[in-house]
Structure 1
């Protein structure tokens, strides 16, 4: 499978290109998933898309949100296309029943996911977290997402992502 200038391989055959929780979670996902090595200094979306000739419209970002209500903190992952932004203070805050919602601090996101910042992906997240997927990601035939590390990217069918545990497709999750 090819996208842009990426040279992909089936992800189950290249687990060295995946964070440990991602490799483990892929064993239970029924569908085709590919992975491609990249220069880790180009992992951030804009630099990656330009260097590897991948459109922003097929690149999805996974952001970790921390929602607070009283003493309770709820974490959720939001997956949105790079051409959009997650509506954290509106839609996401309401969905996770939080009084206040914001992007989780980088150190917390890395520690809680077991993934590298800039490579966090919805595959392999803690089992109690909700995974909120913008409907535009679901409608994208093939999408590029993180692999849990900065040195690679995953190529996956957008519709396959809703099969992840606790995944929900949300219309207008992003603006």
Structure 2
């Protein structure tokens, strides 16, 4: 890695001796990341399907669950409710995302999360040799080998959680 970024995510990857690349995401005038990471990836001649999105859900029990999906994968709410043994799920609000994960929307990773957040990973995340995950810091993403990400997500629940 040529540039340094110090976040809980990079510290975790460093602790596991996992190599990663830093992708700078241009910020708009309001200091928010570009809306289309897919466009940025296409401009870098990369498959937008490699982007791992971290979707945070608030469960009826009051707990939070994060679903990591590849590309434009859409959560299958019925499958999620069953997996989580919850009758009610809603998408977390912006303030809840920061409060529950410690990261702002646009930078939430599927790793280095508080223990209270239950992590589920759709198997499609591991279909790519390289994936792009949130770095924990707005304006940056990390490029990681899918096999290395799987190692760090060893304790996460994996399965098929998206609509086909």
Q: In which range does the TM-score fall when normalised by the shorter chain?
A: 0.7 to 0.9
Contact 1:78 1:131 in 2 (8 A): yes
Q: Aligned residue for 1:29?
A: 16
Question: Structure 1 length normalisation: TM-score?
Answer: 0.78
Structure 1 unaligned blocks of 5 or more: 1-8
Spell out, residue by residue over 1:107-147, the C-alpha distance to the aligned partner (whole angstroms, 9 max, x if none). 11112212121111112111232221111112211111111
Over the aligned positions, Cα root-mean-square deviation in angstroms equals: 2.2
Aligned partners of 1:161 and 1:35: how far apart in 2? Answer: 15
Q: 1:126 to 1:27 in 2, by over 3 A?
A: same
Contact 2:135 2:142 in 1 (8 A): yes
Question: Structure 2 length normalisation: TM-score?
Answer: 0.82
Q: Aligned residue for 1:14?
A: 4
Structure 1 residue 50, shift from structure 2 partner: 4.1
Aligned partners of 1:102 and 1:139: how far apart in 2? Answer: 27
Structure (1 or 2) with the greater strand fraction: 1
Structure 2 unaligned blocks of 5 or more: 28-32
Q: 1:108 to 1:161 in 2, by over 3 A?
A: same
Aligned residues: 157
Q: Aligned residue for 1:168?
A: 157
